[in-house]
Amino acid sequence: MRAMKRLMVLFVGMIALAGCSSKAELRVATFNIRYDSAADAQSGDSWAERKGAVAELITSHDFDIVGTQEGDARQIEDLSTLMSEYDHIGHSYGGARGDLHTATIFYKRAKLELLDEGTFWYSPTPEVESLGWDATDLRLCHWGKFREKSSAKEFFFLNSHLYWRLKEAKANSGKVHIEMISKIAGEDVVVSVGDFNSEENTTQVKDILSQLKDSRAVSQTPPQGCFDTNLGGGNFVGPAKGRIDYIFVSPQVSVKDYKVVEDKRESGHYPSDHLPIVCNIEF
């Protein structure tokens, strides 16, 4: 009788394992959605005119998880209403009061389970809210630890917005990034996305690449879409003039493809002044 029970337990366990995928597969993305600037109304690009297109882009391209930058609390509330299958986490930053923008991660609740989250700042004291070097407003990374439900695989997803203007704050941010990844994630799977306000040849990107891989460079298929991602502050018509948005991954991650999404609104304008990036990954 006992032998029969053991066989039953073994059989149930084998069925459970058979139902789980050995690898996690995800569509990961980054998208600076542009803050709600009153000046954008003059060009027909106010948030009220753009929000539907931003939500449509995220949902129609079937992002499983996306790091957004700049959107304020009201913009995030609008997107949450328009994208009912997604939950979100985030933290505010920027501006005189430190709440002009948010770094917000949207993720599909049916696919992903949030296990933990946190924030660090791009400054000499990253574990406390603080300005970085010569920067004039707060810049940060908000991260989440997730479990992909069908495979039970866990990973860390980091969403950053680096300072855009002064050299010292930018140059030191790459070191902070990799140091904090080591503290938070150790040797675990990492996907790090964001608006890094830095091109490939900069010190800060080279520092990040000492630990992570550039998804564009390691994509198993040729990259799709244009090379550059930055249209310029408040410019919604292009062309893009710099590659400053990235998806970085840890060595355990296979990048199946890489695409810069160039969807436009009916007006011919882009939904934001940055072009989003999406990759299919596996780990």
Statement: residue 85 has pLDDT above 50: yes
For the entire predicted model, the pTM comes to 0.92
pLDDT of residue 8: 46
At the fourth CATH level, the homologous superfamily of domain 26-282 is Endonuclease/exonuclease/phosphatase (3.60.10.10)
pLDDT digit string (tens) for 200-239?
Answer: 999 999 999 999 999 999 999 999 999 999 999 999 998 9
pLDDT digit string (tens) for 107-160?
Answer: 999 999 999 999 999 999 999 999 999 999 999 999 999 999 999 999 999 999
Confidence bin at 4 (pLDDT 50/70/90): very low
For the chain, give me the number of helices (H) and strands (E)? 6, 13
Q: E-assigned strands of the chain?
A: 25-32, 65-69, 86-93, 101-108, 112-121, 140-148, 153-161, 190-195, 213-214, 245-249, 254-255, 259-260, 277-282
Give phi and psi for 16, each to the nearest 5: -65, -45
Domain boundaries, the chain: 26-282
